[in-house]
Amino acid sequence: MSTINKTTRSWHAGKDLVLFVERMPEGAEKIIKAHGRTHGRHLKVAVIYDSRSSLSKAYVVKHKDLFDELIPCDFSDHKFITKALQPYLDRLLAITCRSEANMMKFRQIIPHVPYLRTPTMDSLSWSTNKLAMRRRFAAWDKSITPAYTIVRDGGKESIKKIKKKIGFPLVVKPTGLAQSILVSLCFHEEELEAALRRTFRTVNRIYRERDSKEEATILVEQFIEGDMYSVDAYVDTRGRITFCPMVWIKTGRAIGFDDFFGYQQMTPTRLTKESVTAAEKVATASIRALGLRSTTAHIEMIRDDNSWKIVEVGARPGGFRVELYKLSYGIDHILNDVLIRIPEKVSVSRRVKGTTAAMKFFAKKEGKLVKIKGLKKAEKLKSFYEVTVNKVPGDTCKFAKNGGTSVFNIILFNKERSELLADIRRLEQMIDIQTVKKTGA
């Protein structure tokens, strides 16, 4: 029997709808429908979104033509979720959530789609809260995670506790915020006190804006000096793991920022096969510790003296992975993320087509954006692939550690690694993000 026939038979009659929680990656509808046509099926895409959120409604209005079904939902009560999903239950083939910010909505939906392959509610909770994640890692294997403690205020007793349990240098990070938002490196007590004040103040403001009843809790962990890497993996319903290629990460700290944002991500890496095997072994332990299944997992790691430590794990694809894996290896990360949830076999090529770099540019000084100089010249580089501008003149620029986001992101690709590295150097020399201190700041 052919693969196509096996796949077609595995799809139950009438199951034609792939459901996205809040957001869908660009081009996903074309990829999914093309896959359906390959197997003689007319697949469709839908989005379930928060009917109370102005941002969610604005997204749907802007992208409504991409979806076959729009499902507004009030997430404030389970009965509303039931009502929103009920007309579609017999059609749902798979459900996916690709953003950390929307993972709790995905968690709320899971009890209402009992016949779909999904991660467990607990595993999503563990993978979105840094403290719960650390506790799971420690319970599974203490060697895979740095030493840590938690504090709920920046008082003298908290400082004393941190110095005794962790020591300097150390990293301060909120337990419930994604990416590198509000992550601070501290080498001495004065830096620690300032970081705790800033972090608690900002986290409490963010929680108020989100109408969250969660108590602000700060994770403080041992700082490990080493190279950062990450990898995405597909975990099937039985826990079998298929790893994608590794990605090297240069943080903002490496280029002079007092910050931990992922400045540059590049693949392929220069890691040996033995190092990759060791990294995948530790990554596997982290996935097992969180009990992840039927999902794409994003694992961030630090390599120090040939040993690997887990920074964090997300039950979602990593940032820029669609472009990094597509350009360098021809891997369709969007499709694979859906296939692992149907479930179907994913396809992961190891054949290198070239080197890809994804870069985030932040202003060197916080303030009001005046001008982005050099961006037009950047688009003429031989390695240029695409750019996404996130801020315009007049917008506020903040560092990631203070809750800010990048001014723009850029993707570069070249078949020759040396030519890509040369273009990265040219790009860094031509870009000048100009800001002015805000009045009253």
Q: Do 3-116 and 147-223 fold alike per CATH? A: no
Two tokens, residue 418: 């040396």
Is the pLDDT at 203 greater than 90, yes or no? no
CATH architecture for the domain at 147-223:
2-Layer Sandwich (3.30)
| 211-267 pLDDT, tens digit each | 666 777 889 999 988 999 999 999 999 999 999 999 999 988 788 787 778 899 999
Which pair of tokens denotes residue 422? 């040369």
Mean pLDDT of the 420-432 span: 97
* 202 pLDDT tier (thresholds 50, 70, 90): confident
- For the ranges 148-157, 332-341, 428-437, which has the lowest average pLDDT? 148-157
pLDDT single digits (tens) 62-112: 999 999 999 999 999 999 999 999 999 999 999 999 999 899 999 999 999
Higher pLDDT, 26 or 439: 26
Picking from 33, 14, 93, the residue whose alpha carbon sits closest to that of residue 341 is: 93
Q: Which pLDDT score is estimated for 217? A: 84
Nearest to 318 by CA among 333, 340, 338, 336: 333
- Whole-angstrom distance, CA of residue 277 vs CA of residue 286: 14
Cα–Cα distance measured from residue 103 to residue 108, given in angstroms and rounded to the nearest whole number: 9
pLDDT score for 23? 97
pLDDT digits (tens, 9 = 90+) for 408-425: 999 999 999 999 999 999
Q: What is the pLDDT of residue 3?
A: 43
CA torsion 121→200→227→362, rounded to 10°? 110
Per residue in 11-69, pLDDT (tens digit) is 666 799 999 999 999 999 999 999 999 999 999 999 999 999 999 999 999 999 999 99
Q: Which CATH architecture has domain 355-436?
A: 2-Layer Sandwich (3.30)
pLDDT at residue 122 greater than cutoff 50:
yes
For residues 322-342, give the mean pLDDT: 98
- Locate the domains of the chain by residue range: 3-116, 147-223, 225-353, 355-436
Write out 204-222 in H/E/C secondary structure: HHHHHHCCCCCCCCEEEEE
Q: What is the pLDDT of residues 165-187, one digit of tens each?
A: 999 999 998 876 655 567 888 99
Alpha-carbon torsion 184, 190, 194, 197, what sign?
positive
**Domain 3-116: top CATH class:** alpha beta
For residue 2, pLDDT over 60 is answered with: no
**Structure confidence at residue 130 (pLDDT):** 87
Residue 201: pLDDT over 50: yes
What pLDDT score was predicted for residue 181?
67
Q: What CATH superfamily is the domain 225-353? A: ATP-grasp fold, B domain (3.30.470.20)
* pLDDT given at position 12: 61
**pLDDT score at 402:** 82
61, burial (CB in 10 Å: exposed 0-12, middle 13-18, buried 19+): exposed
Side-by-side strand order, sheet with 432-436: 396-397, 367-373, 432-436
Q: Parallel, antiparallel, or unpaired: how do β-strands 408-414 and 355-361 relate?
A: antiparallel
Q: Mapping DSSP to helix (H, G, I), strand (E, B) and coil, where does residue 159 land?
A: helix
- Mean pLDDT, the chain, as a whole number? 92
pLDDT at position 176, please?
A: 65
Q: Of all residues in the chain, what percent carry a pLDDT higher than 70?
A: 94
Task: Kindly list the distances between the CA atom of residue 257 and the CA atoms of 73, 126, 174, 198, in Å, as whole numbers in the listed order.
Answer: 41, 30, 20, 17
Both tokens of residue 226?
Answer: 């080493």
Among 240, 239, 259, residue whose Cα is nearest residue 251: 259
Residue 11: its pLDDT value, please? 60
Determine the Cα angle at 353 with ends 329 and 338, to 5°: 15
